[in-house]
Structure 1
Amino acid sequence: MNGVYGMTWKLDRHLKTPVYLQIAELLERSIASGEYPPGSPLPSERRLAEQLGVNRSTIVQAYAELRSSGLVESKVGSGTTVSRNKWGVSPSHTPNWRQYAEGGSFLPNLPFMRRIRSSMLHHGQMIDMASGELAEPLFPSGLLQSIMQEQPFTEPLGYDHPQGNPQLRVELSAFLRKQGIAAPEASILVTSGSQQSLYLITQCLLAPGDAVAIEDPSYCYSLPMFQSAGLRICRLPVHHDGIDPDDIARLYREHRIRMLFLNPNYQNPTGTSLSMEKRQRVLAIAAELRIPIVEDDPFSLTSFRNQALPSLKALDQEDIVLYIGSLSKIAASGLRIGWLVAPQTVVSRLADARQQMDFGLSILPQWLAGRLLASEGFPLHLLTLRKALEAKQQRMIGALEHYFSENLAFTAHPGGFNLWCKSKENISDHRLLEESIQRGVVFVPGSVYGSEEGFIRLSYARPEPEQMESGIERLAAALRASLALKS
């Protein structure tokens, strides 16, 4: 497409670079080459959007990028013009925020994840098979409302205990005891969710250059915090019954790994569970080598028949397991309540670091979470949740069998949120995701979790039951379109 001054503009939607940045870079080159002289007006946002076939909001973002580098100026009623100063350098100009944003040590989310979230924000009717989040009807909203009506909030509104609200930790201790985990209140740190627990561990207990072992594929691959912390990541392949414990000893010999990150029950993304025999061997090997295990356990209580195997922490006799849990998968993600069970020395260290970050969590969600865990209605909520998740999983399986026939292989597990699927065709993750977005459905490509192309993770927790068949039908159409483009 030709620009106002004759320049040919080509956008490539298959690049990892966001479209708005591509447009900003094209305009920047036009300005540098003199196509848009100092003081000249740029096309209106609406006009340029029509020329390039993009949303007006995309042009707004592109112009904002140019303003941040001082190349252009915008005035209400006058539009956007090229700065009259050379490259916009003058004492009054805005800092080059793009350079600042790209220069920090904390890495941004993976491009695939940013693309998925962007599509969800800009397309309200998107069928969401990507989010690891419960659908709103599965939240215990009625139970929470009744708690707030029956038990007025009377707590002090000052800063709370560095480890988290004392009463919530009492309730968490009792809650975990029912799962076979001995966790006195002093050994519990309340966090804003599992990811904050992982962040504190990587920042406070490890150092740049340390080697850690994670499952392959693994949710941890989708978290740039591991790379931001400068950790060396070693892979533990996941089989039908979990990792091979002998791989831990091998990685220790080869890399002197300092920590293991495991998700033993309904592992994300594969859905597999570590067998009981392997759990015992993992604990024995880790104890012998004195390697701490970080157990992320979001899904045990989603077991459809409440028959999940005991957590590693429940089997731990040597105090080598740091145990992470949260209410996100079993109650409501918006409560932002998680917990970490660890030796007191570790809890004190992480509580001190967290206090430096935010002076502690808000008292209101902690108060509400404590009342929720103590309520008589919470066990009934969990029972209802398990039944609903099982029904959703069966509905997704039925749709996959109908629309994909034998083109997509998967194994269902009796818990968790996800189906881990493998296409029998050689397809590009990027192409399939883009074709799916165009048809109004999103999923997470397997490469986000470290797997090879052709794997996809489909979540059945978020879509409404009536959306399930439509979403899978759209995904099947996207796969056909991807294969047609390849041929």
Structure 2
Amino acid sequence: MITKAPQPSLTERMNNLWELDRTSAKPLYKQIADELEQKIAYGEFPAGSVLPSERKLADQLGVNRSTVVLAYSELRSLGILESRPGSGTRVSVTKWGVTPKHTPNWHRYAEGGSFLPSPPFLRRIREALELDPSMIDFAGGELAAELSPLEELHAIMSEKWPMMYLGYDNPQGYEPLRDTLVSFLREYRGIHTAASSILITSGSQQSLYLITQCLLSPGDAVAIEDPSYCYSLPMFQSAGLRLFRLPVDEQGIHPDDIYELYHKHRIKMIFLNPNFQNPTGALLSPERRERLLHIAGELGLPIVEDDPFSMTAYDGKPAPSLKSADRAGSVLYIGSFSKMAASGLRVGWMVAPHSIVKRLSDARQQMDFGLSVVPQQVAAQFLNSRYFLPHIDRLRSRLRHKRNLTIAALERELPGMIRWRHPEGGLHLWCTIAPEVNDGKLLEACIQRGMVFVPGSVYGSASGHVRFTYGRANTEDIPEGISRFAAALRSILN
């Protein structure tokens, strides 16, 4: 008589499930979720099976319970798992009860495609903020709510809502907003243009996306600053572009570096953030601006000027835009409402030759039939209102105060251990740590203490650099956030 060997229980199979790769860029919760999905799809964990509790599985795998919570939550959102009070977490009967082997391998699709995921450090920061809303946030690129003109925007919406248009709009954007921007750009940025040469976008990032997807081709070479927030945007690599560096010092890039990149790599476009550069806060000097425009005109190279921070100049005297001195028509100018008013409204603009505006508005129309017209109407009303200039004055004053608070906290907590560039506008403080430390270890140590920042390597810099966004952190949290950072840094160095 042949006796069948007993089949291992689900718990036993979970005990021997897999080894997590702690060196992988993929977050641990994603590794757990993907492995469980694969095992369920192949029938190793049948429909209706009860999975271990979050705490028990966390103990088995040697991870935090919050990591398993995220993994289970992702699988529940896909309908793969279901939870009922008192009965734990089960493999969904509805989804997996019939021919599970024919279910698409969604993991493979999620990992494929041409659009690359965000850098691992940024995904880790988002994960930490989602898990702990009380985390002190020095990482986000947007304004803190305390800096936004919420009451003023509410007043505008309350007054104008009955008259707001809610249908489809012109593919180039809401015409009254473009007319308003003609005056705004002339008065505050020295740019003389027409409404027909303005494209409204959902912000700087969409403007850059349209440029990389529609005006360049896979394999094209472009020049970007080093360090630069462009390195944190996978859209450049997703578009198949080759990126070449223009090192930034206290006065911005060295324009003559462009010659070498042009002759060696045939760069086709230059991407710059000349006013309070992200992440360094550098301001491109007048001499270098003049030289840059001369070289671009000589070589026939377009410049993409991203100018989100100029209105935050703490002395109330924004540096002129590159576009204002552009006599050869070399500059595509990008601006944004989000860094001077409210990130959530998602309104930006691009100034470009009319043919480029038509090309990009057609492409955007194919993607989303144009932007929501409501935030465009609010932006137009706000820029024309009595609220705008007082808000900008308050914004400059508050950002200057938050910068000073951040620097004072660093001087108090880390004397002699950290250096920074002193920004005169913008939202960010760029720091260098001595001695150099591992970015990943420092970030994890900070997360464990309840604060996040962006490691310099996200922006293409070497380890040992950090960006603090004091414009994102709440004012009352700044001293405590820097104290937590200092404790984390000392724990790594010791």
Partner of 2:337: 327
SS across alignment from 1:235: strand
Count, aligned residues = 478
- In structure 1, the partner of 2:6 is none
* Alpha carbons of structure 1 residues 22 and 316: separation in structure 2 relative to 1, 3 Å: same
Conserved 8 A contact 2:37-2:75: no
Task: Give the share of equivalent positions with the same residue, in percent.
Answer: 55
Of 254, 258, 263, which aligns to 2:273? 263
Match in the other structure for 1:382: 392
CA contact 2:46–2:91 (8 Å) conserved in 1? no
1:343 aligns with 2:353: yes
Alpha-carbon distance in structure 2 between the residues aligned to 1:382 and 1:264: 20
Q: Tell me, in whole angstroms, the C-alpha distance in 2 between the residues paired with 1:161 and 1:29.
A: 46
Unaligned runs of 5+ in 1: none
Aligned partner (choices 229, 240, 243) of residue 253 of structure 2: 243
Q: 1:74 to 1:419 in 2, by over 3 A?
A: closer
- The 5 A counterparts of 1:249-398 are 249-398=259-408
Q: Is the 8 A contact 1:37 1:82 kept in 2?
A: no
TM-score, L = length of structure 2: 0.90
Alpha-carbon distance between aligned partners in 1 of 2:462 and 2:113, rounded to the nearest angstrom: 29
Distance 1:357 1:218 in 2: 27
**Residue 409 of structure 1 corresponds to which residue in structure 2?**
419
Residues 1:111 and 2:120 aligned together: yes
SS of the equivalent of 2:271 reads strand
Q: Paired residue for 2:170, among 153, 157, 161?
A: 161
Unaligned 5+ residue runs, structure 2?
A: 1-9
1:212 to 207, 219, 222: 222
Task: Quickly say closer, same or farther: Cα 1:248–1:430, change in 2 above 3 A.
Answer: same
Matched, 1:138 2:137: no
Distance between the aligned counterparts of 2:35 and 2:469, measured in 1? 38
TM-fit CA distance, 1:232: 0.8
**Which deviates the most, 17-26 or 37-46?**
37-46
Whether 1:123 and 2:132 are equivalent positions in the alignment is yes
Q: In the alignment, which residue of structure 2 is the partner of 1:483? A: 493
- Contact 1:191-1:340 at 8 Å conserved across structures: yes
Q: Is 2:111 the counterpart of 1:102?
A: yes
Q: Cα distance 1:41–1:149, how it changes in 2: closer, same or farther (>3 A)?
A: closer
The one-letter amino acid of 1:374's match is N
1:455 to 465, 473, 483: 465
Deviation of 1:67 (Å): 10
The CA distance in 1 between the partners of 2:184 and 2:303, in whole Å, is 22
* TM-score, structure 1 as length reference: 0.91
d(CA) in 2 for partners of 1:473 and 1:265?
30
What is the CA-CA distance between 1:134 and the residue it aligns to? 1.1
**How far did residue 50 of structure 1 move?**
5.0
**Runs of 4+ with deviation above 3 angstroms:** 8-15, 24-42, 44-47, 49-53, 62-68, 72-79, 91-94, 149-153
Distance in 2, matches of 1:197 and 1:299, equals 16
Secondary structure at the counterpart of residue 113 of structure 1? helix
Q: Distance in 2 between matches of 1:121 and 1:352?
A: 36
| Alpha-carbon displacement from aligned partner over 1:275-297 (angstroms, at most 9, x marks no partner) | 00000000000001000000000
The structure-2 alpha-carbon separation of the partners of 1:169 and 1:39, relative to structure 1 and needing over 3 Å to count, comes to closer
In structure 2, relative to structure 1, the CA distance for the partners of 1:355 and 1:59 (3 Å cut) is same
Structure 2 equivalent of residue 434 of structure 1: 444
How big is the shift at 1:79?
Answer: 4.3
Seen in structure 2, the aligned counterparts of structure 1 residues 97 and 405 have a Cα distance that, compared at 3 Å, is same
Q: Which amino acid aligns with 1:281?
A: R
Q: Distance in 1 between matches of 2:293 and 2:439?
A: 36
Following superposition, the deviation at residue 48 of structure 1 comes to 2.0
How many angstroms does 1:154 deviate by?
1.5
> Residues 9 and 274 from structure 1, CA distance in 2 versus in 1: closer, same or farther, beyond 3 angstroms?
same
Q: Aligned equivalents of 1:259 and 1:38: distance in 2?
A: 54
Give the Å deviation of 1:347: 0.3
